[in-house]
Amino acid sequence: MPEPTKRDAMTAATKSEQLVGHQSGNKLGPGVVVMDRPDGSWTPLRFAPFRYQANPNPLENPRMSQSRIDGFVRASIKDPSIIECPIHWETICFSISYLSHHSDDEDDIDFTHFMPYDARKEFGSPNGDIRDGCEGFVNKIESVWSEMARRFRSAVMMGHCRILARCDRPHALHFTEVAPDVFALFQITDWKSGFAESAAGDRLYEIHVAPPLPPVRTLIKIEADVAPPKKREAKQESKQEAKEEANQQEAKQESLKKSGAPAMLAYSVKQAALVANMGRSSLYAAIKDGDLIARKSGRHTVILACDLETFLAKLPASGSRGAH
């Protein structure tokens, strides 16, 4: 069989980085990852419980750190014959030191590295039974692994990681992302090879675990016609009403002039402010200082048109020294 060319290698590398989209007519369909081998960020199933665990305490960080996972293993696997059982992170397995059962020396210690799902094989005898004196901590190791597997499945359901596998056939060309609720229907029967099977007979081969995809940020565009806050609305309405009232006042004055009828002889403070194009507070200040004459009609304050004209005429010119 000829060796693969450089062009073939480049084509395979390009394929391994592509994700199948949701385009119409796509035969592979969404969720199928175009890869003939796992990506570098993927973790084989046998290592997944060491890296992805949901914290059983809901009041703490939902994800378990490596130090917390290691502390859980050390605290859980305690036996008179076990000296220590930490996690060996370089090889990702249990590293156990225990009193030797093959020596007459009580201080003789054995060391071994193994995967927890292989505890019975590691401490088994040729006839298939567990070696004498090892039954206690083998049961504890299996109990700890069972809890780690349970927390791993919880992490999958919580979206802390993604499941990818070859579906139905071990030689399936592509990996498929398996939804968390679907993965919950599968029973893992071989952690080492990454094999699981459902009650319906569906099978997953070469299962790998990948970190979650980064969240997609959606930018919300605020249209120009979106209603402004209530305070801004009230302020704009007040300005609009004042402008309309001034226009009505000017139209009324213009109508009186055209008809030959006498103009208004007196104004309210509000009307005078509109006619003079000034603020009411400025007029009240002028009245208080005696610069503008105001008269009382019952409870109403009125300003004669002639007094208003006199007040406006006395205002300093914009170019004079007294102007502010």
Q: How far is CA 232 from CA 227, 229, 317, in A?
A: 9, 5, 35
- Predicted pLDDT at 38: 79
- For 219, list phi and psi in degrees, rounded to 5: -85, 125
More confident residue, 240 or 157: 157
Mean pLDDT, residues 37-48: 88
Q: Which sequence spans correspond to the domains of the chain?
A: 14-48+161-213, 53-159, 230-314
- Position 2 confidence tier, pLDDT thresholds 50, 70, 90: very low
The pLDDT-based confidence of 103 (bands split at 50, 70, 90) is low
Residue 95 confidence class, pLDDT cut points 50, 70, 90: confident
**What's the mean pLDDT when you consider all of the chain?**
78
Q: Is 159 exposed, middle or buried (0-12, 13-18, 19+ CB in 10 A)?
A: exposed
Domain 230-314: top CATH class: mainly alpha
43-57, 84-98, 250-264: range with highest mean pLDDT: 43-57
Q: Give the pLDDT mean for 174-190.
A: 94
Let me know the angle formed at the C-alpha of 82 by 76 and 88, rounded to the nearest 5 degrees.
Answer: 70
In percent, how much of the chain has pLDDT > 90? 25
Q: Give the model confidence (pLDDT) of 106-136 as tens digits.
A: 556 778 888 999 988 888 888 878 888 788 8
User: What is the model's pLDDT at position 105?
Assistant: 52
Most confident stretch, 57-71, 144-158, 231-245, 281-295: 144-158
CA distance 304 to 308: 6
Round to whole Å and give the CA distance between 118 and 141: 10
Mean per-residue pLDDT, 5-26: 37
